[in-house]
Amino acid sequence: MAEPLLEIKDLRVEFDTRDGVATVIDGLDISLYPGEILGIVGESGCGKSMTALSIMRLVPVPPGRIAKGTIRLDGEDLLQVSEKRMRGVRGNAISMIFQEPMTSLNPVFSVGDQIAETILLHEGGSKRAAWQRAVEMLDAVGIPVPEVRAREYPHQMSGGMRQRVMIAMALACQPRVLIADEPTTALDVTVQAQIFDLLKDLQKKTGAVIVLITHDMGAIAEMAQRVVVMYAGRKVEDGPVDEILTNPKHPYTTGLIGCVPHLSADPSEERVPLTDIPGVVPPMTRLGQGCPFAPRCSEAMDKCRLEMPTQSVVGEDHRVSCWLIENDGP
Amino acid sequence: MANFSIIVVKRLFNAAALILAVVILNFLLIHIAPGDIVDTIAGEMGGISPELITQIRAEYGLDKPLYEQLALYVWKILQGDLGHSFFYDVPVVELIWDALPQTLLLVITALSLALVIGTILGVIAARRPNGAFSHFITVLALVGFSAPVFWTGIMFLIAFASFIPLFPPAGMADPGLEPGSLDYYLDVLHHMVLPVVTLALIYLAFYSRLSRASMLDVLGSDYIRTARAKGLSDRVVVYKHALRNALIPIVTIAGLQFAQILSGAVLVEAVFTWPGLGTLALEAILRRDGPTILGILFFSAMVVVIFNLLTDLTYNLIDPRIRIGSKE
Ligand SMILES: Nc1ncnc2c1ncn2[C@@H]1O[C@H](COP(=O)(O)OP(=O)(O)OP(=O)(O)O)[C@@H](O)[C@H]1O
Ligand SMILES: [Mg+2]
């Protein structure tokens, strides 16, 4: 495989809480390769947004901090560069769209202004030219009569429209990496499909790498080529989407796939009841030494509760951290 | 919006009822209080015959039964007549109009100062919510809000008018100066410093606290995270993206607080003998000038009720449901 464009190694993010230090991300390795859409999937609270914010270096400090690790973009460690340099990266080389389109745009500025601001900041030029580009971007994300819409304020737009505006803003400076943090969670199903189509389309046109964060395996199946499955701040499994969907190794991944009906049930077979993973993500301040998933895992062994599983390679570019695999795997 | 007109009508009705209640209550209070204008005149003349007393009472309508006096008073108010001052011998309305500009000058200056400086302090504090400066603002707000304004005023008088005589202790301008000349205005400015600072301090404390809270609220919002994700510098994020939003509640509340500030001014005026409504009220009380006291009370009640009415209506307008109703 080619050189990774962005490489996260051994990332650890901690938060100071009233109950002590919460390690919300631990020992995380993720690589992004040119031209791909990478999915990050996991239940609520597993650290998907924190991973994204770490890449942007926007983890709120305090109470949080990036305690350890490297995040290299083209070999440059973003965790070491100056704040000024990092500002040049944000919105320019790496940009991000958020989960909440309704509140992610500033209510007191027109959407055109908000897009033009990014262009002016990173590329300079005249205000007029920036505005013109903003209008073009709105057009590119499928907003009708963009020259009129550009002058509107966020409250005059629907959630889907606002998310399109966010995408236009994120892509305005031709970023190399676009992080989309649950871009459709707050939108209704038809709009979700439109936004996914738009993202796929734009990915093909611009060649930007997209990191798609979601808790929906269905979205991953549709969009991504590779997927990282996260649980309680750790990567439990990663690999090509096709491989993971047909041959999941980690009981948690199996559970996640089971949550989506059309992925698990083969129509020719007897219908498998829609499964749900029992239990909830444990509090991050009280993780024991063992596998964090062990308390919820139906196949947990004694070893799982005592020792953190190590990572094993189970196929081409397919890795999993689970003692079950260690026992009967290669 | 039909909903909104019903609310307006309801609130207007409530306001009118409230003002009437205030008028009646004030009227009764003044008449229950021992002593009246006759005693004051008698006192000043050093004794007075019973015939003369009866004559004066008849002249001012004080011999009529209380309910009749009240009805007459309410009727006159409805016609915009607040009565005739016993002491100054001019219509009360005239007295109020003459005193009001001075009070407004004091209040508006103090309010603007408090608003601008308070907002700046609050914003600086919000940038480091756990820093020393932020805690200082919290303490300042507590002290500023709990220290009685007349006490602060007297302390300032002692310190900066008497101990270090930097500022004049009383009045609004040197009587020798010609009103309208540059020297006159400068002198007014000089006289204004202490009362304005005294009055501004309470509100400064209030607004710095309010703007700190408002700013903290805004800084935690999603669109601020978006602004940072664009690569904007901290300065632009705070002063462009956050401040505009944080100002909205501050300015709204400032407008609505105007009535309370007017009442704060009364005490400050009394301490610094500033010739506004407060000083007028104090004099009227000392002279037992019933109509003037009643007039000022009525006027202040009006101001308070009207501003409360505006508060209510503004909040109803800000209510998102109503906003959605008016969206295209
Ligand atoms: N300010 C904070 N203080 C303490 N813990 C925090 C703070 N912010 C986030 N966390 C914790 O970090 C963990 C990861 O949060 P994160 O937002 O990354 O989850 P997520 O996977 O994005 O979830 P979701 O699907 O709900 O968006 C959570 O357990 C959360 O409780
Ligand atoms: Mg999230």
DSSP type of residue B34? S
Rounded to an integer, the average pLDDT of A16-31 is: 87
Nearest to B261 by CA among B64, B112, B87, B78: B112
Are A139 and A165 a contacting pair, CB within 8 Å? no
The residue that leads in pLDDT, A258 or B280, is: B280
pLDDT at B321 over 60: no
Give CA–CA dist B193/B170, Å, rounded: 11
> Residues 6 or more apart from B290 whose CB is under 8 A from it?
B30, B31, B36, B37, B86
Full domain range(s) for residue A195: 6-93+175-262+274-328
Lowest-pLDDT choice from A117-121, A294-298, B16-20: A294-298
Q: Whose CA is nearest to atom 5 of ligand 1?
A: A15
> How confident is the model at residue A281, as a pLDDT?
64
Residue B120 has pLDDT above 60, yes or no: yes
CB-based burial label for B262 (10 Å; 0-12, 13-18, 19+): buried
CA distance B249 to A270: 60
Query: What separation, in Å, do the N-terminal and C-terminal C-alpha atoms of chain A show?
Result: 22
> Nearest to residue B107, comparing CAs of B192, B185, B180, B50?
B192
H or E element that contains A113: helix A111-123
**A141 domain-assigned:** no
Domains: count for chain A: 1
Beta bridge mates, A31: A7
Residue A272 has pLDDT above 70, yes or no: no
Residue A303 in this model has a pLDDT that exceeds 90: no
So what's the pLDDT on residue A329?
A: 44
* DSSP-derived 3-state class of residue A235: strand
Q: Which residues of B touch A156 (CB under 8 A)?
A: 327-328
CB of B99 closer than 8 Å to CB of B275: yes
pLDDT tens profile A175-232: 999 999 988 877 788 878 888 888 888 888 888 899 999 988 888 888 899 999 998 8
Here the tokens at position B29 are 């209070």
Beta bridge partners of A22: A15
Counting every residue written for chain B, the total comes to 328
- Ligand 1 close to Cβ of residue A282 (< 6 A): no
Residue A109: phi and psi, rounded to 5, are -120, 150
With bands split at pLDDT 50, 70 and 90, how would you rate the model's confidence at A298? confident
State the Rg of chain A over Cα.
Answer: 21
Domain with residue A282: its CATH number is: 3.40.50.300
Residue B44 pLDDT exceeds 70: no
Chain centroid to CA A46: 11
- Distance CA(A90)–CA(A122), nearest Å, equals 9
Residue ranges of the domains in chain B?
A: 2-78, 98-286
Q: Is the CB of A44 under 6 A from ligand 1?
A: yes
* B296 and B282 Cβ atoms separated by less than 8 Å: no
- A169 at B interface, C-beta within 8 A: yes
pLDDT in tens, A24-64: 998 899 999 988 999 999 888 889 999 999 999 999 887 88
Closest CA of chain B from A42, distance in Å: 22
| A20-32 and A6-17 strand pairing | antiparallel
pLDDT reported for residue B45 = 65
Q: Is residue A110 part of a domain?
A: no
Given a contact cutoff of 8 angstroms between Cβ atoms, the answer to whether A47 and A233 are in contact is yes
Q: Is the pLDDT of residue A271 over 50?
A: no
| CB hemisphere CA count around A277 (13 angstroms) | 23
Q: Residue A28 in contact with residue A234, Cβ under 8 Å?
A: yes
> Choosing among A97, A98, A104, which should be mutated to test the B contact, i.e. which has the most B CBs within 10 A?
A104
* Percent with pLDDT over 70 in chain A: 89
Q: Give pLDDT, residue A273.
A: 45
- A6-17 and A64-73 strand pairing: antiparallel
pLDDT over 50 (residue B111):
yes
Residue A50, min C-alpha distance to chain B (Å):
13
Tens digit of each residue's pLDDT (9 = 90 or more) over B259-273: 677 777 888 888 888
pLDDT at A262: 60
Nearest-atom number in ligand 1 for the CA of A283 is: 29
Specify the pLDDT at position A90: 93
Q: From the CB of residue B121, how many other CB atoms can be counted at a distance below 10 Å?
A: 23
According to DSSP, the residues that pair with A238 across neighbouring strands are A228, A319
Q: Which fold has domain B98-286?
A: MetI-like fold (1.10.3720)
Mean pLDDT lowest among A99-113, A162-176, B39-53, B139-153: B39-53
User: Is the pLDDT assigned to residue A255 strictly greater than 70?
Assistant: yes
Q: How far apart are CA A314 and CA B6, in angstroms?
A: 71
ipTM of the complex: 0.84
Predicted confidence at residue B60, as pLDDT, reads 65
Q: How far apart are CA B7 and CA B11, in angstroms?
A: 6
Mean pLDDT computed over every residue of chain B: 81
**Top-confidence range, A282-286, B175-179, B180-184:** B180-184
Pairwise CA distance, residues B276 & B192, whole Å: 12
Give the position of tokens 């006490």. Answer: B151
**A289 vs A33: which has the higher pLDDT:** A33
What three-state secondary structure class fits A126? Answer: coil
In degrees rounded to 5, what are phi and psi of residue A172?
-55, -35
The answer to the question of residue A119 being in a domain is no
Q: How far are the Cα atoms of A118, A286, B251, B324, B325 from residue A109, in angstroms, in the given order?
A: 13, 43, 18, 19, 22
**What pLDDT was estimated at residue A228?**
94
User: Which atom of ligand 1 has the smallest separation from the CA of A46?
Assistant: 21
Please give the residue that has the higher pLDDT: either B56 or A321: A321
Q: What is the pTM of this model?
A: 0.74
CA of A47 to the centre of ligand 1 (A): 6
The answer to whether A48 touches A181, Cβ cutoff 8 Å, is yes
pLDDT of residue B224: 94
Encoded tokens for B203: 């509100």
B2 compared with B227, residue with greater pLDDT: B227
Other CB atoms within 10 Å distance of the CB of residue B21: 11
The per-residue pLDDT for A1 is 60
Q: What average pLDDT does chain A have?
A: 84
Q: What is the pLDDT of residue B228?
A: 93
pLDDT of B291 higher than 50: yes
Residues in the 5 Å CB sphere of ion ligand 2: A 49
- Give CA–CA dist B241/B123, Å, rounded: 13
pLDDT in tens, B75-92: 888 888 887 887 888 898
A1 touches chain B (CB under 8 A): no
Q: Is A323 on the interface with B (CB under 8 A)?
A: no
Contact across the interface for B327 and A156, Cβ inside 8 Å: yes
